Structure 1
Amino acid sequence: MFHIIRPSIPDRRLLAIGLSLCVGAAAAADLDPKAISIKLPDQIKWVANPSGSETAVLVGDPSKPGLYVVLNKWKAHHNSKPHAHPHDRFITVLSGTWWVGTGSDYNPDDLKPVPAGSFVTHYGNEVHYDGAKDEDTILQIVGMGPATSTPAPKK
């Protein structure tokens, strides 16, 4: 005679989680690299900028003509000065609150908050400034290169 040992409910949950992780890992190993490319967060290379931000290029080359997609991380308490870009840029706020202003007169007290989940269009050749106040903010920026920036003329 033999006895069947039934695992407790917490043990069964752990077993189910472990099995699903194994199945998930096996399925991920079978992905065709010609069909899909995945970069996990620890594989995204961030580069520090003098402005107090960091950039990670996901697609394309912002310094050359053509489509690009970048992540931009504004560090807390850093803003840009008034500037313009030659092409429209399409921005999604992924985390934090982004602060934006328009015009050549830089006034950080006039910055308006843009919360996570928002979508913003910066129109080409129009002057703006932006950044982060009390928290880091991550943006996804999509545009056509070259993604140059021209400081606004001083008034």
Structure 2
Amino acid sequence: MKRYRVRWLILALLPAAFAVFGQADEEGFIRLMPGELDWGESDGNSIGFVVLAGDPQQEGFYVIRARFPPGVMSSPHYHPTDRHVTVISGTWHTGTGAEFDTDAMVPLEPGSYMMHPAGAIHYDGAKDEEVIVEIKGIGPAPTIRVE
């Protein structure tokens, strides 16, 4: 049963793997402007994802961005590898543990950093404003929801 959920979540995140990468110049540098990011919705709850480097579903380093519309939160979940998150814009609200509790969430402002340890249950999202976070880690890193 757990393996089925992991497969479903991997399939749910596949649209993120089709992000538009910027063209490398003759020296290999890649530049992307905010308007060039193709935010895909991967899990049906309107959280947008874009892959900037690598692939979170494959072995190796990856960088993704997640965009949470106002009022959208993730449910408790975990990842099998550490994830490093930096808040780009908005105030990101973060909670830990299997019990979703908005009153216990800690707000993180732009420039803030949070590390999600491998296997640690957490939830997060936006309350009153759009939030964009950048997530870095080593894949594969599926999202495994806690029921």
Q: TM-score range by the shorter chain?
A: 0.7 to 0.9
Deviations 1:83-114 (A, max 9, x none): 11000000110100000111111112221101
Point out the structure with max Rg over C-alpha: 1
Aligned with residue 48 of structure 2, among 43, 54, 57: 54
Matches for 1:85-124 after TM superposition, within 5 Å: 85-124=79-118
- Alignment TM-score, normalising by the size of structure 2: 0.78
1:36 aligns with 2:29: yes
Deviations 1:17-43 (A, max 9, x none): xxxxxxxxxxxxxx9522311112222
Q: Secondary structure at the match of 2:35?
A: helix
The alpha-carbon deviation at position 139 of structure 1 amounts to 0.5
Unaligned 5+ runs, structure 1: 1-30
Task: Give the equivalent residue in structure 2 for 1:45.
Answer: 38
- Aligned Cα root-mean-square deviation (Å): 1.5
Structure 1 consecutive aligned stretches of length 4 or more whose deviation exceeds 6 Å: none
Give me the whole-angstrom Cα distance separating, in 2, the residues matched to 1:52 and 1:111.
Answer: 21
Letter in 1 for 2:126: A
Greater alpha carbon shift after TM alignment, 83-92 vs 39-48: 39-48
Give me the whole-angstrom Cα distance separating, in 1, the residues matched to 2:86 and 2:29.
Answer: 23
Letter in 1 for 2:130: D
Letter in 2 for 1:126: A
- Alignment TM-score, normalising by the size of structure 1: 0.75
Deviations 1:4-26 (A, max 9, x none): xxxxxxxxxxxxxxxxxxxxxxx
Tell me the number of residue pairs that the alignment of Structure 1 and Structure 2 aligns: 123
